[in-house]
Chains A and B, each alone.
Chain A
């Protein structure tokens, strides 16, 4: 696992650098793949899918998460919308609403403006559905865990007692406070 050292300054500095899609500035190959992904949705049209991807990313902007990872959430919603007309309509309407709030195209607005728009719609059904999909599907995905450093299921691997449950780089407390384990 990568060991990065965070500090307050670099955290604050980094946080002002969040942009839109990485792929859009990442050259032709990535852009083609991105367009192909958006065109391939089972129920959402390309514009709606791309906008929802950006909203998902604006809700939980990550510096280590690639754009492809955010597709997990939109793909899941696309699948649900395929069998639910009213859900699909709520996505189309929701995107139209934020597009118009952005003066035509949400994706072309600045990060600051997009966040302001999301603040305004915070709690409405479109917003809540996208937020909850990120919470319950995106952050529940193994690929996302790998990037964030969550290891999940432990039983099949015999637990963590021999796999780093005490390896954090802080002083080991005295035995009176933290006795030895049964295996020691």
Chain B
């Protein structure tokens, strides 16, 4: 029942992006009877199209439009034109995500209160609390089918988890298990159970892993209220004389510009494209870009404090077998300033195939020599984990327009500037130490502390705030400046917390859909 809406139909809600935020919002709105046009820059790939090949899958679906970087982060020298690893395809980055689905903790919604004034950090409490979010977390977990919630069993741990568990327990960690994952441990919601393929980052061919692309979009289509337009790259959001949003301009598959009228617009292009689009949509009425009276659009970019610890073990591990992310230690996610930093981090197992391992074990030009080759040559002896920690929002860490460099549509590319905060550096050092201890306890021969990869968690560039002067949108993701403009992805995050973000993005989208449908029926938007 795929529907087609007219370009001049100004009664539709236009959703930009079909990932965790946009895909969920589209489906939720369509279920409530709202007419939705979802514009997605990428193509539509189904599980049959996915390839069990690391570089092949990356080139198939990653967002490879040119971007630039600046700042002292290691990414700027190791991957100067690839600040982030996200996906351009129906379903967005949920095609490549690993599935870790954790709720934020209560204190992580009010870090300004909890952590106090941290020099150089632009900390702010969220305008929502865990209590307000709980019912939506519940719905999101049910939708995604998160293991260890709603009576859904946890997944069996793979080889990488066995090593991790052994070391973590020897170190005295208490909360160590196979995690809360958006991966079917049993067949559910018309999708298969996990076959332990080990290519979660490449698109799950068995469909066991939740993805907005094949979990949300088809359900939206069944309502008859929804149209998906693929290869529709939005380059501008437009407004009328009174300043209200009236539509968007996009470039279609043939390179032609189209204008779609809209009653409301919700932006969910992930935290680099979302602020970029608001900045590119500047006009004489909004010279600094849309919804930017606070000057905060693009600012406070967060990417989670990340890093990996890989270990060469004394016996074969074969960590490529089974789920890419197979287990977690949550003990370090508390806020305990006695460790020398505020906030906390999670340790999560991670395995890469040999092709990615070669590029990522020691990224950049220094990735060569005996140490790295010895590890690669003994690939089957490797174990690995990833660190996800709360990084500090800083105003200078920002997505801005680089007007010197243009993309394929002639538009200025986004520049992503990032400097680690002192708190980030201390936390990463602590986490590297703990990760190393885990593997040494489990019998490591050699250990690698691997610096961050291109950001998979991009957050905070249009943050929600109680007061309009502190952020870009309110607690419902509605622009502080423009009543019918919404932010619907991880850009809304006021702060990043220690947990992987997608469950929270999906929960916020479910909550936002409720708000939008209600306001639309009241006629306020």
Q: Which residue of A lies closest to B314 (CB)?
A: A6
Q: Which residue of B lies closest to A11 (CB)?
A: B445
A158 to B197, CA, bound (A): 8
A165 to B162, CA, bound (A): 10
Whether the Cβ atoms of B197 and A6 lie closer than 8 Å is: no
Whether the Cβ atoms of A166 and B163 lie closer than 8 Å is: no
Whether the Cβ atoms of B206 and A135 lie closer than 8 Å is: no
A170: B residues at CB distance < 8 A: 159, 162-163, 165-166, 315, 442
Partner of A122, one of B178, B193, B316, B366: B366
Whether the Cβ atoms of A6 and B445 lie closer than 8 Å is: yes
Q: Is B161 an interface position by the 8 A CB rule? A: yes
Q: Which residues A131-155 have CB closer than 8 A to chain B?
A: 131, 134-136, 138-140, 144-145, 147-155
Partner of B315, one of A5, A59, A122: A5
B87: A residues at CB distance < 8 A: none
Q: Is B119 an interface position by the 8 A CB rule? A: no
28 contacts between A and B (CB under 8 A): A1-B316, A11-B445, A15-B374, A61-B369, A62-B377, A64-B377, A131-B367, A135-B358, A139-B354, A152-B53, A153-B52, A154-B321, A155-B197, A155-B206, A160-B197, A161-B196, A164-B321, A165-B159, A168-B162, A168-B163, A168-B317, A170-B163, A170-B165, A173-B165, A179-B156, A179-B185, A181-B185, A182-B193
Q: Which residues A34-85 have CB closer than 8 A to chain B?
A: 59-65
A172: B residues at CB distance < 8 A: 162
Whether the Cβ atoms of A160 and B376 lie closer than 8 Å is: no
9 new A-B contacts at CB < 8 Å, known A140-B54, A168-B316, A168-B317: A7-B314, A15-B374, A59-B373, A60-B373, A140-B355, A140-B358, A165-B322, A177-B327, A178-B165
A152 to B367, CA, bound (A): 22
Q: Is A22 an interface position by the 8 A CB rule? A: no
A120 to B377, CA, bound (A): 25
A131 to B368, CA, bound (A): 8
Q: Is A128 an interface position by the 8 A CB rule? A: yes
**Nearest CB in chain B: distance from A62 CB, A:** 5
**Nearest CB in chain B: distance from A12 CB, A:** 9
A15: B residues at CB distance < 8 A: 370, 374
Q: Which residue of A lies closest to B77 (CB)?
A: A123
A182 to B365, CA, bound (A): 44
A99 to B358, CA, bound (A): 27
Q: Is the interface of A mostly helix, strand, loop or mixed?
A: loop
Contact flag A166-B365 (CB < 8 Å), given A1-B380, A179-B178: no
A176: B residues at CB distance < 8 A: 177
Range for the number of chain A residues in contact with chain B: 35 or more
**Nearest CB in chain A: distance from B181 CB, A:** 12
Contact flag A139-B358 (CB < 8 Å), given A6-B381, A177-B178: yes
Contact flag A60-B165 (CB < 8 Å), given A131-B365, A167-B159, A177-B157: no
Q: Is B199 an interface position by the 8 A CB rule? A: yes
Whether the Cβ atoms of B358 and A167 lie closer than 8 Å is: no
Q: Which residue of B lies closest to A131 (CB)?
A: B368
Q: Which residue of A lies closest to B163 (CB)?
A: A170
Q: Is B35 an interface position by the 8 A CB rule? A: no
Q: Is B176 an interface position by the 8 A CB rule? A: yes
A178: B residues at CB distance < 8 A: 154, 156-157, 161-162, 165, 177-178, 327
A35 to B56, CA, bound (A): 34
Q: Is A163 an interface position by the 8 A CB rule? A: yes
**Nearest CB in chain A: distance from B450 CB, A:** 14
Partner of A139, one of B186, B322, B376: B376
A115: B residues at CB distance < 8 A: 369
Q: Is A127 an interface position by the 8 A CB rule? A: yes
Whether the Cβ atoms of B354 and A144 lie closer than 8 Å is: yes
Whether the Cβ atoms of A5 and B314 lie closer than 8 Å is: yes
Whether the Cβ atoms of A171 and B378 lie closer than 8 Å is: no
Contact flag A135-B367 (CB < 8 Å), given A168-B315, A170-B163: yes
B165: A residues at CB distance < 8 A: 170, 173, 177-178
Partner of B197, one of A64, A131, A154: A154
